[in-house]
Structure 1
Amino acid sequence: MKTQASIAVLALVLGGSLAACSFAPTYKTPDTGTAPASYKESGDWKQAQPSDAQSRGAWWTQFNDPQLNALEDRVSSANQDLKAAVARLQQARAQAGIARADLFPTLTLGPSLTRSRTSVNGPHFAPGAEPTGNDFLLEADLSYELDVWGRVRNALSAAKAGAQASAGDLVTLDLSTHAELATDYFSLRGADNQQMLLDQTVVDYTKALALEQNLYNGGAAALSDLVQAQAQLETAKTQAADVRLQRAQLEHAIAVLIGEPASSFHIDPTPLQADLGPPAIDPGLPSALLERRPDVAAAERRVAAANANIGVARAAYFPVFSLNASAGYDSTHSSNWIQAPSNIWSIGPSAVLTLFDAGRHASQSAEAHAAYDEQVADYRGSVLNAYREVEDNIAALHHLEQESASQAAAVTATQKALQQAIYRYKGGIVTYLEVVTTENAALQAQLSAANIQARRLNAAVLLVKALGGGWQSPLSADATVPADTAAPATPAAAN
């Protein structure tokens, strides 16, 4: 017994002395190059705003739209894609828990009661013994892998990094879902503006057609004028029907985002206020972007997981050391089953070394290195895409602001031109064709102005999304998932 105990102690000492051994490369966040000093598209346009007013958490409240706020508040608790993402995060955290369990011994208890008969003609049968008997066994088994080469610890590191990446995915999806709802909402309100214009236009064109019909019947207007008025009215009706279709589809999309059936969901038409513009948004410095973007943080965590998996693959080349022990009671009679003379036990270390596997371990190691290279490329791609999205939407806000100003001037000019055309037509100076042409130009100018206003608001939403939306503090892989499925904070950038 002393010999066995000495062996066990020696194994534990050996395991403890090598506990710090790991074949995973020393992890370092992949280099993405020097961050730009400023955003190229911001130029001299950057809007001044105190840093404490930067978008955090419920960023959509900056648009000061109560109905948008009410819809956004329903997303986190009702959106089915977010619920699925929360479930994936819970799975990843459970997998980390499974990997953590390998750090500790496994203890099992196996009682059994057996009655059996031995062949009297068998080689091990003792003459005169009873061939039929009982076997009462109560045995506890302990098994423990000595993590000499760091396989278990690296597997746990990979699982924890994977859980953090899943948390980043959840934050990314939450941000994207809220942003999608906001863009759909502003597009819908822009459609309401266009619908209001077109509905009024249909009314006006209907009156104009009736007037031309009367003039034609009285011989005061040519047939061409009547036909042009008819064509103009039908074109306006077609445009109005198309806008109603777009609005219906946007309303259905919003219904899905907040977890409601499209058949029973409705938003009353409410055109955007003429003076409503995007809120002031300070994009900050490019160097801060990587700390804000949850998708970038998730990509970095996947690099860390792949790095740890290299250590797991390398450890497969070396022996697996285990400590196994068992103890219990074994007897042929229940009366003396749980007594000292019935005691049984065994203890001892073991090792397994693969001598030939036809290149399996080499291929697994090559796969782990290739997976790491893939995740590094994905991470760097995420960083480049983050910069691009911010630049795109800064440029969009800049140029759409200019478009809005010029389009407002165009609306004013076409309205004046329309008034002059009507006066000239009533005076008999021009034909009705000039009125039709000018009316169409005025209508298109107004529709374009409504479209630009919605695009400006959507560009602001997309800029907030590109900047990472609401960001709080580094995320632990063990953090609790909120009951209402609200997104957790952004994952940490490194271990």
Structure 2
Amino acid sequence: MRKFSLPWVLALAASAAGCSFAPDYQRPALPVAASFPAGEAYRYGEPSPGTQNQPAPDIGWRDFFGDPRLHKLIELALANNRDLRVSALRVQEAAAQYRIVRAGLFPTVDANASRSRTRTPLDLTSSSQAISNVYSVGLGAAAWELDFWGRVRSLKSQALAQYLATAQARKAAEISLVSQVADQYLAMLAYDEQLEVTRKTLAAAQSSYKLAKLQFDVGAGSELDLREAQGVVEQAEANLSVQTRLRAQAENALVLVVGSALPDDLPAPLGLDDQSILADIPAGLPSDLLTRRPDIIQAEETLLAANANIGAARAAFFPKISLTGQFGTASPTLDGLFKSGSAAWSFAPQISLPIFDAGSNLANLDIAHLEKNVAIAQYEKAIQTAFREVSDGLAARGTYDSQIDAQKRFAASQQRRLDLSNLLYKNGAASYLTVLTAQNDLYAAQQALITARMQRLTNLVDLYQYLGGGWIEHTGDAPRPADAPARPVVATH
């Protein structure tokens, strides 16, 4: 029988190193149209100054937003938000898991030393010694799998893809956080403006109530007019309480997103009309999202992991060859361990061939194929979701300006209507119900205008995120890798 030396086995393993049963990966076809929708809702204006027709990922968030207070809030959130911190830790966890799997490609070498003492009956030993001692020192490699069929390499590729997917999930979380902070900040500004409108409405209602009461007291007005005026005051006070509560809750939500209390030395806020948020960033093509959106890249890395897992499942049908060896010295006495002739070694190759496993290997392969099909569907869904989000954002960007212009004209007309109603009422030519209706309609129009302004701005923020913007701080910065370390915590006191 031919004897196989360790160098020969290692050479054979090296010659088989390129073998892999993982399928050749092919990116699925784009499951959406080749371009974003066009039509009346998708009218684009001229590019904003400073964009230079740059795609969203190349525009830093400090350049996209113009409010210094918002800059500081985003900076604090990137350092203190707990969800983002967990995402960064998950990346480190996935990296450690990848290193564990990759270590399977190499033998594990241990140093060991032992001493055994044995008593054997004299009638069972050929020597005159009933008690024997054995001392040994050496290096050992236990059950190192020779990866002939690429099973371990497929598992390594799977772990690597999972690590990269986790890194992209962290990147997506950071981009989303920038958008969340801006959206919540804009909501707070909107509540501030709505509170101001409500206070003015309340003050006007109180003045009208005083006039109605005076007229009622002198017999020149009816109790109906008095009660209608009183109702307007009560309703305005109720609205003030509601909006005060919502404003406080909005600030609480912002504190949660930022991850710390808001510092007292923040720059003064700008109003909604003063927010210089870039508009008309070019959308590009849907195919650009494959490289710009980290959630899509994450879904593709998950698909690559499933593809590699098929290779590992296929390799399980073939023999598994492993080596166990040890080299060192052994001696019956401690002082003889390193003397000439004390060398000791053992070499034990092992092969395991699956013959009957009740179909478990075949089931594992079926599962691997099904998981890949699931990953394909999830990848395609991620693209379709991104396409819908960008398309909705473009439709909103193309229509909000005209909506706000019309809303402004409507609010102005309702203000004029209220002025005329008050004039007619004071001259006895109209009932107080006319004033009441005009006042309510003006209040609703002003509230709707503020809401529309906020929605326009938040849509621009969200569209920036949907197009992949928010990862770099300044335009022109080199993008950080998706697995970059988390930012240090920023103190707020």
Match of 1:372 in 2: 372
Deviation at 1:55, TM superposition (A): 5.3
Once the two structures are overlaid, the 10-residue window that deviates more, 359-368 or 32-41, is 32-41
Match of 2:231 in 1: 231
Which of 43, 46, 58 is the aligned partner of 1:45? Answer: 43
Deviation at 1:253, TM superposition (A): 1.1
Q: What is the letter of the counterpart of residue 430 of structure 1?
A: A
Q: How many residues align?
A: 478
Match of 1:457 in 2: 457
Match of 1:141 in 2: 140
Q: Show structure 2 runs of 5+ residues with no match.
A: 473-477
Q: Distance in 1 between matches of 2:73 and 2:145?
A: 53
The 3 A distance-change label for structure 1 pair 383 and 265 is farther
**1:181-228 CA-partner distances (Å, limit 9, x unpaired):** 111110110111100110121122122212222221111111011111
Match of 1:36 in 2: 34
Q: Distance in 2 between matches of 1:474 and 1:330?
A: 58
Q: SS state of the match for residue 148, structure 2?
A: coil
Q: What is the letter of the counterpart of residue 69 of structure 1?
A: H
Q: Distance in 1 between matches of 2:287 and 2:29?
A: 13
Once the two structures are overlaid, the 10-residue window that deviates more, 452-461 or 392-401, is 392-401
Q: How does 1:272-351 map to 2 (within 5 A)?
A: 272-274=271-273, 276=275, 278-280=277-279, 281-351=281-351
The 3 A distance-change label for structure 1 pair 415 and 268 is farther
Q: Distance in 2 between matches of 1:221 and 1:13?
A: 108
CA-atom RMSD in angstroms:
2.6
Match of 2:65 in 1: 63
The 3 A distance-change label for structure 1 pair 474 and 255 is closer
Q: Is contact 1:193–1:271 with CA below 8 Å preserved after alignment?
A: no
Q: How does 1:402-481 map to 2 (within 5 A)?
A: 402-470=402-470, 480-481=484-485
**1:429-469 CA-partner distances (Å, limit 9, x unpaired):** 01111111111111111111011111111111111111111
Deviation at 1:330, TM superposition (A): 1.4
**1:318-349 CA-partner distances (Å, limit 9, x unpaired):** 11112322111112211212223221112243
The 3 A distance-change label for structure 1 pair 485 and 42 is farther
Deviation at 1:360, TM superposition (A): 1.2
Deviation at 1:275, TM superposition (A): 5.8
The 3 A distance-change label for structure 1 pair 43 and 407 is closer
Q: Is contact 1:190–1:271 with CA below 8 Å preserved after alignment?
A: no
**1:14-44 CA-partner distances (Å, limit 9, x unpaired):** 2122211111101111222464234336866
Q: SS state of the match for residue 260, structure 1?
A: coil
Q: SS state of the match for residue 142, structure 1?
A: strand
The 3 A distance-change label for structure 1 pair 271 and 107 is closer
Q: Distance in 2 between matches of 1:415 and 1:277?
A: 28
**1:451-493 CA-partner distances (Å, limit 9, x unpaired):** 111111111111111111146789878x55244399xxxxxxx
Deviation at 1:243, TM superposition (A): 1.3
Q: Distance in 2 between matches of 1:270 and 1:221?
A: 46
Q: Is contact 2:117–2:134 with CA below 8 Å preserved after alignment?
A: yes
Structure 1 position 199 matched with structure 2 position 199: yes
Q: What is the letter of the counterpart of residue 375 of structure 1?
A: A
Match of 1:108 in 2: 110
Once the two structures are overlaid, the 10-residue window that deviates more, 322-331 or 65-74, is 322-331
Q: SS state of the match for residue 156, structure 2?
A: helix
The 3 A distance-change label for structure 1 pair 34 and 257 is closer
Which of 84, 96, 99 is the aligned partner of 2:98? Answer: 96
Q: Distance in 2 between matches of 1:485 and 1:155?
A: 36
TM-score (norm 2): 0.90
Q: Distance in 2 between matches of 1:105 and 1:127?
A: 39
Q: Distance in 1 between matches of 2:101 and 2:198?
A: 62
Q: SS state of the match for residue 84, structure 1?
A: helix
Q: Distance in 2 between matches of 1:30 and 1:441?
A: 54
Which of 96, 117, 120 is the aligned partner of 1:118? Answer: 120
Q: What is the letter of the counterpart of residue 108 of structure 2?
A: T
Q: Distance in 1 between matches of 2:451 and 2:331?
A: 88
Deviation at 1:268, TM superposition (A): 10
The 3 A distance-change label for structure 1 pair 139 and 271 is closer
Q: Is contact 1:277–1:457 with CA below 8 Å preserved after alignment?
A: no
Deviation at 1:178, TM superposition (A): 1.4
Q: Distance in 2 between matches of 1:52 and 1:391?
A: 18
Q: Distance in 2 between matches of 1:268 and 1:426?
A: 46
Match of 1:78 in 2: 80
Q: Distance in 2 between matches of 1:425 and 1:406?
A: 28
Once the two structures are overlaid, the 10-residue window that deviates more, 219-228 or 37-46, is 37-46
Q: Distance in 2 between matches of 1:286 and 1:21?
A: 37
Q: How does 1:259-274 map to 2 (within 5 A)?
A: 259-260=259-260, 272-274=271-273
Deviation at 1:412, TM superposition (A): 0.8
Match of 1:490 in 2: none
Structure 1 position 132 matched with structure 2 position 131: yes
Q: Distance in 1 between matches of 2:128 and 2:371?
A: 67
The 3 A distance-change label for structure 1 pair 44 and 259 is closer
Q: How does 1:215-226 map to 2 (within 5 A)?
A: 215-226=215-226
Deviation at 1:140, TM superposition (A): 1.2
Q: Is contact 2:116–2:133 with CA below 8 Å preserved after alignment?
A: yes
Q: What is the letter of the counterpart of residue 71 of structure 2?
A: N
Match of 1:15 in 2: 13
Q: Distance in 2 between matches of 1:194 and 1:220?
A: 35
The 3 A distance-change label for structure 1 pair 381 and 345 is same
Q: Distance in 2 between matches of 1:192 and 1:138?
A: 78
TM-score (norm 1): 0.90
Higher normalized contact order (CA 8 Å, seq sep 6+, divided by chain length): 2
Q: What is the letter of the counterpart of residue 58 of structure 1?
A: G
Once the two structures are overlaid, the 10-residue window that deviates more, 266-275 or 79-88, is 266-275
The 3 A distance-change label for structure 1 pair 202 and 389 is same
Q: Distance in 1 between matches of 2:350 and 2:435?
A: 97
Q: Distance in 2 between matches of 1:160 and 1:295?
A: 17
Deviation at 1:117, TM superposition (A): 3.1
